[in-house]
Chain A
């Protein structure tokens, strides 16, 4: 019989929620009190009651009860506090509250109803019946819907005390009040009535009612009703031993139960689906985000890598360039060093070969002189002395060349090109040859036309001395020096001797020395430092040095230098 009891409880709850209609009177009075006396607690308690905040209502109404002025106010407060207590199943307190409501109050019937519900709830069915009986005397004051609930509860009370007669009477009363449109109430009422019959084993009365309620429920939309009615039918058929029908009803019952579950499950499933879809979407979004993030990281990495590579390449290029320039410098320095080394070697060989022999000669001459002095041989002394002077002269000349050469090579030679007069310069050089000419019985003729040249005087003098020395050494007895202007741009100095001349092959070599540096010269070829020095210095003065010779017809050296027109 579980199914039936379950249904009663549901009805009980529905009743307590539906007593709002009676409340209108109470409501009006409360509003009046609230507006006229401005009682804070009262207003709040009432407000909370209306809003069904029963906890707050209970607290405020108990506070308000300490401050009550009028009977109405007290009755209302007791009513709402009782109602709240009832809601919270504090039945003892609720009972106290309702009892304190005065019998003279305008909602006495409400009080009785509440007490009835209360007692029904605490299973004091007889007390409940007392209250309902008291209420029934003035039941016409109560609204139809409340009356319907009240009759029903009345009926339930009688059912509990197994007074089926009375129960049927009240259920019939209830049934008579039900509006024909209210199918749900009809089904419930019919089920209640059927229950009453069934409990009394009046199967013939009960079964058609159950069947009726079942048929109604079948047409009605409420699945719960369908479930209950089919369950009832199944139980009835089982009790009638018509198991086949019972099974059919159970099947139906299960179907409705399932469909109810299904409904819940479908809803749950769709919810779940929704959640799943959302979750999937979120996951997709997360994946997409992750992808984007990864792409960004990848891109950033690429950019960083590329720029790093660029920087690295730039650095590499820079260092490479630096290294290259360093290498260039090193190569240059190496070349310079090579030249310097060759020059040094050359100078050493000059010192060791060309310097040793004249020094030996001078030493021997001195020994000779000593002998002649011992013999008092004056003419011989003079002769040896002259020779000694000549050797010393040529040696000193060689030394000068070495000095000038090394100065020139190390870029320390004074070089100060300016306008100089040609004739005095040559005269000055020739002046130094007076002694030599005298000693060697040589004639030097000079036919000098004066000209202004742009040159460094000292370097020109060095060249002239070298050429003249050579002429004196190899050139025979007559030397002619001439100067003049050869063109607008050049003045010339020609030094011609009457010596044996230079072989053509050697001449070619000498003339080709213009562009040679010292490291390219083979000492064994007999080309001396003097010629190279001459070439270098003339070139430095932007001049031209040429050697011309015919065998046995002497050599002619021409020095051409930039001319400044006077």
Chain B
């Protein structure tokens, strides 16, 4: 599990410090910038998981402008607005930066952490997952975002052992635990588009890097984690063709 790295755009030191304290206590790594220019510089240098934008920077709605620029440049990072603006006009302007999540000041610790969850969910279009159910996860091509106590952490996709269909959900099995995603297996395969994950059964998707043994005759796959996965006849042929190493 890895900490999430946040970029915080906030011009006021006091508020920035309060936020940084709360976020660091909750297992987030925070890089703070004072204006949009610095923010863009940081974005070029490093990778961030979430960007927190104060809308009004030095009396101008720079936060919104930056969000708009990011969308234009297709910077694929979830962001959330932090604002004390209860003015409709500004709000409506911010609303056009889809996906949109915001946090009104004053806010308490819980609200802030919750807003981060929402930002990730809405960004990957998997609403009401981690914010709604603590066993849920948000899946992106590279990472799996999961809840750890009050905060969100990420797991690299290769760390997933296998994915199993459970009714409406899919259960993602990692060494750290299992997480539910409200998505069909077919959709997950599309989303991951990762050759390491092979379907071996109508209900199972396996990370081939985690396979310990395969018993073709017994229709069984045994993983490093000792999990036993059924191997359906339907998928054997293509599996063999694609992975001659197992023959």
Contact = CB atoms under 8 A, between A and B. Distances in A.
Genuine A/B complex: yes
Interface of A: 407, 412-414, 416, 419, 421, 424, 427-428, 431-432, 450, 452, 458, 566
B242 interface: no
Given A407-B86, A414-B88, 10 more contacts: A414-B86, A419-B127, A421-B132, A424-B110, A424-B114, A428-B114, A431-B109, A432-B108, A458-B104, A566-B128
Given A428-B108, A428-B114, A458-B104, A421 B131 contact: yes
Interface of A is mostly: mixed
Contacts of A450: 132-133
A413 to B, nearest CB: 7
Given A407-B86, A412-B87, A414-B91, A424 B131 contact: yes
Interface in B84-129: 86-88, 91, 95, 104, 108-111, 114, 127-128
B222 to A, nearest CB: 36
Given A412-B87, A412-B88, A413-B86, A428 B132 contact: no
Interface string B9-25: 00000000000000000
Nearest to B133: A450
A566 B133 CA distance: 11
Contact of B128 (A413, A416, A452): A452
B55 to A, nearest CB: 13
B129 to A, nearest CB: 10
Nearest to A425: B114
Contact of A431 (B87, B95, B110, B132): B110
Contacts of A452: 128, 132
Contacts of B133: 450
Interface in B11-60: none
A454 to B, nearest CB: 12
Contacts of A413: 86
Interface centre among B87, B95, B108, B109 (most CB of A within 10 A): B108
Interface of B: 86-88, 91, 95, 104, 108-111, 114, 127-128, 131-133
Contacts of A421: 128, 131-132
Contact of A428 (B87, B110, B127, B128): B110
10 contacts: A407-B86, A414-B91, A414-B104, A416-B95, A421-B132, A428-B108, A428-B114, A431-B108, A431-B109, A566-B132
Contacts of A416: 91, 95
Nearest to A423: B132
A220 to B, nearest CB: 130
Contacts of B132: 421, 450, 452, 566
A428 B111 contact: yes
A425 to B, nearest CB: 9
Contacts of A412: 86-88
A428 B110 CA distance: 6
Nearest to A424: B114
A421 B88 CA distance: 24
Contacts of A566: 128, 132
A452 B182 CA distance: 15
B103 to A, nearest CB: 10
Contacts of B87: 412
A423 to B, nearest CB: 8
Q: Top 5 closest A-B pairs, CB basis?
A: A431-B110, A428-B110, A428-B111, A421-B132, A431-B108
A428 B106 CA distance: 12
Nearest to A432: B108
A414 B88 CA distance: 6
Contacts of B95: 416
A416 B109 CA distance: 22
Nearest to B117: A424
Nearest to B83: A414
A421 B130 CA distance: 11
B21 to A, nearest CB: 16
A407 B86 CA distance: 9
A191 to B, nearest CB: 136
Nearest to B109: A431
A171 B80 CA distance: 158
A424 B136 CA distance: 15
Contacts of A407: 86
Contacts of A432: 108
A458 B127 CA distance: 19
A427 B114 CA distance: 10
Nearest to B86: A414
Contacts of B110: 424, 427-428, 431
Contacts of A414: 86, 88, 91, 104
Contacts of A458: 104
A222 B16 CA distance: 150
Nearest to A434: B108
Contact of A419 (B86, B88, B108, B128): B128
A432 B110 CA distance: 9
Nearest to A400: B106
A439 B133 CA distance: 32
A414 B110 CA distance: 21
Contacts of B128: 419, 421, 452, 566
B105 to A, nearest CB: 12
Nearest to A564: B128
Contacts of B88: 412, 414
A452 to B, nearest CB: 6
A431 B22 CA distance: 14
A414 B86 CA distance: 6
A431 B106 CA distance: 13
A428 B88 CA distance: 24
Contacts of A428: 108, 110-111, 114
B16 to A, nearest CB: 21
B104 to A, nearest CB: 6
Contacts of B86: 407, 412-414
Contacts of B127: 419
B123 to A, nearest CB: 15
